[in-house]
Each structure stands twice: as C-alpha cells, then as structure tokens.
Amino acid sequence: MLFRGMACKEQIRFFATESTAIVQTALDLHKLAPAPALLLGRLLTAALLMGAEIKDEVSNLTLNIEADGPLKGAIAIYEYQGKVRGYAKKPDFFDEEVKNNWNIGNLLGKGTLNVIKDLKMKAPMTGTIELQTGEVAEDIAHYYLNSEQVPSAVSLGVLFDAEGMIRSAGGYLIQQMPSANPEDVDKLMLNLANTPYITDLLDMGLNWEEILHKIIFKDMDMSITDSYPVQYHCSCSKERFADALRLLGKDELETMQEGITPVCHYCNKQYDFSAEDIMQIIQSLNR
C-alpha cells in the first residue's frame, strides 16, 4: 500500500509505502545478486513515492542511475496507480561485503541520477544531479532540493532474510512546503532522528498508519488523505515491441528477415517475431 497525507496545517506533505512484494518480484524476475537487489529495490520504492503525485493514466516517471562503478546503475519506471517496473544494469554483480554493511554507493562510484517526469500535457520535465552518496535516499533528497527547491526527508530500505529473500522493504518521502513553521520542522526532524529503520518496524509487524501516527508524526497534527495498492507491473505487449521495431527503419529491419525474439528488460517476457511478422512491419512502413 501507499499512503499519502498532510501534516502541520498542510505545510508538510508525506508519502509512505511498503514495497516488500514488489522488491521480491523484481529479485525473482531478474535473479538479482544482493547489491543490485538493494539498488533496484530502493529505486523502485523511490519511484513509488515520487510517482504518488501523478494522477492521470498517461503520465509516468522514470528514475535512471548511471554510474561508472561495477554496479553500473538501475532504472525504475512509475505508471498510474502504483504500478512500477525496473531493471538493474548489472543484475549478477556479486559483492561479498554488501551483506555486512548494506552500502552500495562505493559499488556505484561516480555517476548521475536522472529524473524524467513525463506529464504528457507538455514537454517532459527532466532533472539530473550528480550522485551524492549513491545510497539512493540521499540522492533523491538532493534532487528535490536542487532541482525542485523542495526540502525533503527520504528513507528507503530493503531488508533480506538469511536465505536471501526480501524480509521487508519500504520507505517514505516527506516534503516541506514554503510556509512551513520552522518549529514544526524541528520537531519532525527530531522525530525522524528517533525513528528506527522503517524495514525493521515493518518487519516487527507495525503497519504504516501506526508508524506515521505514533512515531514519525508523534505529538503532531497529521492526517492520511488516501491510500492505494502498489504492484510490480510491466505494460509491455507485442504491439509495443512492433512499434519500437518500426522506429528502426527498413534497412535495419531487413537484417532481421529470419525473425527475432526480443526480450523485455523489465519482465523478461519473450516475444516471437516470425519472418512473416517482420515482413508485415516492413510493408507497413512502405504504406
């Protein structure tokens, strides 16, 4: 579930989500090693939180981390009503240390976080920042402060069990509006400093309503305005792949005359384009 709400006389807004099943699905689909699972899990959770402001069916949000270290990066895409998908650029990169310290920034190295908000009505809004720590949450907070001038507190967590399955995953995004009372912000920062890891709280069986009311916004006015389910969902189809093939043009398509079997990066589904399918696509270009 994803929860949206306001606090402190509507001068602080928040988004909070549990993403355990989504991160487990990503891990299973892409057979992720622990470090890329941490990276993609955090990025998918961030996409859920950042996408919560999207309210129409055609808009979407893309987060792309591109880095020069061995972990390379990951992509996560949010679509309408809590649907996310993504992939890690080095899904099988294995690092012995990551299960001891949970740090991935050193494995990413130098790089960028690119945010694309495709709101369809006008040209996409894009913002790019240099990675700060590479641990994702700090990078998202830095993006909001520098590209959108919105002070934000971000937490993203992925917790594994001993067998390498996802025990819990989730996070929050809390944003300060321009006329927020500084005393309220101080109180919130103190509460956040005293908040244990969200993944531990979720793992202990607390739900988000309890975490928000009793811990993060303890002794503060706040209300959850709405909530909705979230899921890992890929919207690929043979038609979409055919559209992409058309963009390659006739010359390129003629090299594929025996047929091809492209695989979706996001869900690993394979599509079969026979020699006849390719011929039809070429013919459709000639019309």
Query: Which residue ranges make up the site for Zn ion (CB under 5 A)?
Result: 234, 236, 264, 266-267, 269
The nearer residue to Zn ion, 116 or 267, going by C-beta atoms, is: 267
Helix (H, G, I), strand (E, B) or coil at 89: coil
For the record, the structure tokens of 154 come out as: 């971000």
The nearer residue to Zn ion, 149 or 270, going by C-beta atoms, is: 270
The nearer residue to Zn ion, 43 or 180, going by C-beta atoms, is: 43
Shortest approach of Zn ion to residue 252 CB, angstroms? 22
Shortest approach of Zn ion to residue 263 CB, angstroms? 9
Exposure on the CB side of residue 230, measured as CA atoms within 13 A: 32
Shortest approach of Zn ion to residue 47 CB, angstroms? 16
Residue-wise burial string across 238-259, b where 16 or more C-beta atoms lie within 10 A, e elsewhere: eeebbeebeeeeeeebeebeee
For the record, the structure tokens of 91 come out as: 């899904």
**Pair 104, 38: CB distance under 8 Å:** yes
DSSP state for residue 68 in the 8-state scheme: S
The 10 Å Cβ neighbour count of residue 156 is 28
Shortest approach of Zn ion to residue 266 CB, angstroms? 4
The nearer residue to Zn ion, 51 or 69, going by C-beta atoms, is: 51
The nearer residue to Zn ion, 71 or 264, going by C-beta atoms, is: 264
What is the Cα–Cα distance from 100 to 223, expressed in whole angstroms? Answer: 37
Shortest approach of Zn ion to residue 27 CB, angstroms? 16
